[in-house]
Structure 1
Amino acid sequence: MTRSTFKFVLAPVLASLVLAGCSLAPKYERPAAPVPGAFPNAPSSSAMPVSASADLGWREFFRDPQLQSLIQVALENNRDLRIAIDRVEEARALFGIQQSERLPTIGVGGNASIQSMPEDLRAGGASAPSVTRVYQAGVGITSFELDFFGRVRNLSEAAYQQFLASEQARRTVHITLVSQVAESYFRLRAIEQQRALVERTLKARQASYDLIKQRYDVGVAGSLDLYQAKSQLDSVRADLQEIRRAEQLAQNALLLVLGTTPSNLPQAAAFSQDQLLAQIPVGLPSDLLTRRPDIIAAENGLLAANANIGAARAAFFPNISLTGMLGFASGAMGGLFSGSNRFWSFTPQLTTPIFSGGVLGNLDLAEARKNIAVSQYEKSIQTAFREVADALAGEATYAEQLNALRDLETSAAESLKIAQLRYDNGIDSFLQVQAAEITLYNAQRSFLDTGLNSLMNRVELYKALGGGWLENSVVPSATPESGKDAS
């Protein structure tokens, strides 16, 4: 490439870089968080080594090795996560396409023009040749816009923010998936415990029915006692089928979030709060702005809308584009590239809107979309605050509720023993035994249901605070002063 050719190609690029600093986008200011400055029911302190729940890795939060292995399987096979990853690549490609508009398209090409003209239209009259030929070849720039007012730059910025939003959406799917696996796993575990309870109760009710049947056969018990015992037995039999159906549905739900069928699902085992950390750091609502990926994504959308306003404003100003070519031109193909056939063309084009309702409409549309983005951003903060507050309300009450249900189960068991003893001694009817059995059975099932809800609530709090993105915890390094004091 000759020096003149290099200057011809480089000049528009340098001009675009110099002029790209101008932007008509409004100055961005983050909206104030429309929530209180502190969470209700928030613990006063936490002994956790991490500063925020988002820094707490899911392997440290979920202590059950079987659950850890299932989460790993889901992260490798879940289709929703794969779609989210592909969405990121899609947004990356769209950003690359928009970014390319900021640089000129330079290419090498050639063309030929051959035409025959009648005598009365020839430039030289009848003596001119009837067929004219023109051959051209060289380096050219096609319709490159000089971005004086930042239109292309703002469109590129909007595409970049959309790309960042898609990355945050992927993180949101990741966090949600981790919590979904945990919730499905705990639900399956709870149903297994429910099934064991129902099977034990069914065995006890069957023994009670057999005993009353024997007493009925010898005339000691009446038909009312017999049918009451039979109704108790049939009720638990129906519960057992309901539990078996729920267990199958829970397994199907777990397989769906896993995205594959593992060689074997975990065997039945007890579940408790010991499978989770006792406490997690809550922090302040302002932490959510930098920890929750859905809030970050909403702000990315707001920044994109802000940039689109700049692009819409730039449409009110002149648009200048360049088309040019530098190379060789000749009337004969054989001598096209000789030194005397150098050729160049330069075609600047300026377009200035005088009246265009569409341009004004585009600006109104961009401003309306920014207002929508502001509201969406503020709502995402309010939603996050509500989710954390709801989970904290559960943390503040579930422990006492479980303690009350334990006491209820103990009282119901003692009541059943007394009622059975009074019935055996002929003091009370079997109706008292039946009522005591129902009370104990319901207390035991309520305890298991509440225990599951307590676990689910702890998982929801972890997710609501932005936890579940990291596999292992990030422990803040000690400052020089703190390290010195520790030594």
Structure 2
Amino acid sequence: MVLLAALLLVGCTVGPDYRRPQVAVPPDFRGLATDTPGGAESLGDIAWWKIFQDETLQSLIRTALAENYDLRIAAARILEARAQVTIVRSAQFPDVSASASAPYVSLPGDRAPLQSRETFSPLGTFDLVWELDLWGRLRRATEAARAQLLASEDVQRFVVTTLVSDVATAYFQLRELDLELEISRRTLTTRQEAVRLVTLRYQGGVAALIDLRQAEVLLYTAAATIPDVMRRIEQTENLISVLLGRNPAAVPRGRPLLQQFSGPIVPPGLPATLLERRPDVRQAEDELAAATARIGVAKAEYFPKVSLISSAGVGGTLITGSWFGPTGLLAIGPQVSVPIFNMGRVGAGVDSAVAQAQAALARYQQTIQQAFRDVSDALVEHRKRREARIEQQALVNSLTDAARLANVRYRGGVTSYLEVLDTERQLFDAELQLAQFERDELLAVVRLYRALGGGWTAS
């Protein structure tokens, strides 16, 4: 009767079932340009090799995805979580074990009758223990473990997204530094020629000594930038090497900075789709589901634990040369454990599980808000970086012409070298800043791609 009643009760599961919470989703992303195409299409859905079209960069990203140690750690965590699901789920099934014993007893002659001084009693049994999951405690535990497995997979996706963007960011920074080095060396060559010409004019009595010193100032200024740029180049190469899972080494180059993809106006897609694409949002939801399931595990501790126990075996006894057996053994029956007094431990466990679920819910909602902010920040950054780069290009064009005119005026004796000094200094700084603006526009695309959760779906 007890077993029949238990079987009738199987299927009852205590604790709340997980349902995705309602969240406030904006109709569109703040910071979206008015001329940006709308619709469900999103930059985040595009494969990374279609975004970053430099073949060298593509090769670096592929190497990082194959060799990076953070990604290896994340993959190992997934294997660990899968094993944990198997461990937890196995508790729902009977636990069958076998045992054997063969005790030999020898008693002193003055302590036992002659016929029982030596005994040998071999025994072999098969034992079964099966906890009947009447209240769903084991099912809730399995549910929590599976949700935690999904969270581990989302962590791996987050690492992939981060890794793709980190390699692209470092590569674009490297190409910008290469451009800075090119500008500095080109400027150095130009200023070496200027010093030579001013020296000739000074020796001919046409130019003053101050003109020569000012030309040398420009020369040394350009020369001093080169070691610092080369230092930053090597450090950036070291960073890329570590991202690739390698020791620091030189990094191959592909397209120059100015030939990289800066991107047309790209649609971010619908805000609602961001919840499915961002790995960190998915991870936060999976952890909320796991925490919700653990409430059921805690509440099940209020109720009795019923197990079915069975043991079957065979044995015998050898007493001073006489064998008695074999004898069969069969035992079956229920085992019930009822919580009576535990100083509030079960209630505190439920309170703890509920509090953890509330914290997981808050983290989930916070992660969603941060995701919307990341996209909005990236959108406005992409738009404003492009505008700044266009204005800086116009400034460089004007300063290039101004420097040309200043040199013509100086050689014609119309003005002093101070005018050349001023325009050349401004042009050099403006060209370096233009290279940085070009880089920043590229990095804004990378940040937008990462904010939209791009990179992992195709990896």
- Normalised to the residue count of structure 2, the TM-score between the two structures is 0.89
Query: Is it true that 1:60 corresponds to 2:46 in the alignment?
Result: no
After superposition, residues 280-429 of structure 1 pair within 5 angstroms as 280-332=266-318, 338=326, 341-346=327-332, 348-356=334-342, 357-429=344-416
What letter is aligned with 2:65?
Answer: L
Q: Decide whether the 8 Å contact of 2:403 with 2:423 is kept in 1.
A: yes
Q: Once the 2 structures are TM-superposed, how far is the Cα of residue 297 of structure 1 from its aligned partner?
A: 0.9
CA shift in 2, pair 1:456/1:335, >3 Å: farther
> Identity of counterpart residues, as a percentage?
35
Structure 2, unmatched stretches of 5+, are none
CA distance in 1, matches of 2:325, 2:35: 81
What letter is aligned with 1:449?
Answer: Q
Q: Once the 2 structures are TM-superposed, how far is the Cα of residue 210 of structure 1 from its aligned partner?
A: 2.2
Q: Once the 2 structures are TM-superposed, how far is the Cα of residue 192 of structure 1 from its aligned partner?
A: 0.9
The equivalent residue for 1:462 is 449
Q: Decide whether the 8 Å contact of 1:319 with 1:352 is kept in 2.
A: yes
Q: Once the 2 structures are TM-superposed, how far is the Cα of residue 131 of structure 1 from its aligned partner?
A: 6.4
Q: Once the 2 structures are TM-superposed, how far is the Cα of residue 16 of structure 1 from its aligned partner?
A: 8.8
Q: Decide whether the 8 Å contact of 1:192 with 1:268 is kept in 2.
A: no
Q: Deviations over 1:177-224 (max 9, x none)?
A: 111121122111111111111101111122222222233334433333
The equivalent residue for 1:82 is 72
What letter is aligned with 2:61?
Answer: I
Other structure's SS at 1:331 match: strand
Of 246, 252, 259, 1:260 maps to 246
What letter is aligned with 1:222?
Answer: A
The equivalent residue for 1:108 is 98
Q: Once the 2 structures are TM-superposed, how far is the Cα of residue 276 of structure 1 from its aligned partner?
A: 5.6
Q: Once the 2 structures are TM-superposed, how far is the Cα of residue 347 of structure 1 from its aligned partner?
A: 5.4
CA distance in 2, matches of 1:354, 1:346: 26
CA shift in 2, pair 1:442/1:233, >3 Å: same
CA distance in 2, matches of 1:45, 1:89: 46
After superposition, residues 168-247 of structure 1 pair within 5 angstroms as 168-247=154-233
Q: Once the 2 structures are TM-superposed, how far is the Cα of residue 139 of structure 1 from its aligned partner?
A: 1.8
CA distance in 2, matches of 1:57, 1:345: 63
Q: Decide whether the 8 Å contact of 1:412 with 1:439 is kept in 2.
A: yes
Q: Once the 2 structures are TM-superposed, how far is the Cα of residue 260 of structure 1 from its aligned partner?
A: 3.2
Q: Decide whether the 8 Å contact of 1:63 with 1:277 is kept in 2.
A: no
CA distance in 2, matches of 1:20, 1:291: 38
CA distance in 1, matches of 2:333, 2:118: 27
After superposition, residues 155-174 of structure 1 pair within 5 angstroms as 155-174=141-160
Query: Is it true that 1:453 corresponds to 2:440 in the alignment?
Result: yes
Larger displacement relative to structure 2 (390-399 or 166-175): 390-399
CA distance in 2, matches of 1:188, 1:378: 37
CA shift in 2, pair 1:63/1:153, >3 Å: same
Q: Once the 2 structures are TM-superposed, how far is the Cα of residue 344 of structure 1 from its aligned partner?
A: 1.3
Q: Decide whether the 8 Å contact of 2:40 with 2:269 is kept in 1.
A: no
CA distance in 2, matches of 1:310, 1:167: 24
CA shift in 2, pair 1:235/1:336, >3 Å: farther
CA distance in 2, matches of 1:91, 1:15: 35
The equivalent residue for 1:154 is 140
Q: Once the 2 structures are TM-superposed, how far is the Cα of residue 117 of structure 1 from its aligned partner?
A: 8.9
Q: Once the 2 structures are TM-superposed, how far is the Cα of residue 53 of structure 1 from its aligned partner?
A: 3.3
Q: Once the 2 structures are TM-superposed, how far is the Cα of residue 96 of structure 1 from its aligned partner?
A: 1.1
Q: Once the 2 structures are TM-superposed, how far is the Cα of residue 354 of structure 1 from its aligned partner?
A: 2.2
CA shift in 2, pair 1:264/1:230, >3 Å: closer
Larger displacement relative to structure 2 (16-25 or 381-390): 16-25
**Number of residue pairs the alignment of both structures matches:** 454
What letter is aligned with 1:172?
Answer: F
What letter is aligned with 2:303?
Answer: F
CA distance in 2, matches of 1:156, 1:325: 28
Q: Decide whether the 8 Å contact of 1:409 with 1:443 is kept in 2.
A: yes
Q: Deviations over 1:89-138 (max 9, x none)?
A: 0111111111111112112222345668999x99xxx8995666654323
Larger displacement relative to structure 2 (38-47 or 409-418): 38-47
The equivalent residue for 1:485 is none
Q: Decide whether the 8 Å contact of 1:62 with 1:277 is kept in 2.
A: no
The equivalent residue for 2:424 is 437
What letter is aligned with 1:379?
Answer: Q
Q: Deviations over 1:410-453 (max 9, x none)?
A: 11112212222332333332222111111111111111101101
The equivalent residue for 1:3 is none
CA distance in 2, matches of 1:15, 1:58: 58
CA distance in 2, matches of 1:36, 1:187: 34
CA distance in 2, matches of 1:218, 1:195: 34
What letter is aligned with 1:313?
Answer: K
Query: Is it true that 1:141 corresponds to 2:128 in the alignment?
Result: yes
Q: Once the 2 structures are TM-superposed, how far is the Cα of residue 280 of structure 1 from its aligned partner?
A: 3.7
Other structure's SS at 2:302 match: coil
CA shift in 2, pair 1:344/1:268, >3 Å: closer
What letter is aligned with 2:186?
Answer: R
CA shift in 2, pair 1:206/1:344, >3 Å: same
CA distance in 2, matches of 1:115, 1:302: 59
Structure 1, unmatched stretches of 5+, are 1-10, 473-487
Q: Decide whether the 8 Å contact of 1:92 with 1:163 is kept in 2.
A: yes
CA shift in 2, pair 1:268/1:163, >3 Å: closer
CA distance in 1, matches of 2:214, 2:179: 27
What letter is aligned with 1:278?
Answer: P
Q: Once the 2 structures are TM-superposed, how far is the Cα of residue 330 of structure 1 from its aligned partner?
A: 2.9
The equivalent residue for 2:85 is 95
Q: Decide whether the 8 Å contact of 1:115 with 1:132 is kept in 2.
A: yes
Larger displacement relative to structure 2 (456-465 or 274-283): 274-283
CA shift in 2, pair 1:419/1:157, >3 Å: same
Q: Once the 2 structures are TM-superposed, how far is the Cα of residue 263 of structure 1 from its aligned partner?
A: 10
CA shift in 2, pair 1:288/1:20, >3 Å: farther
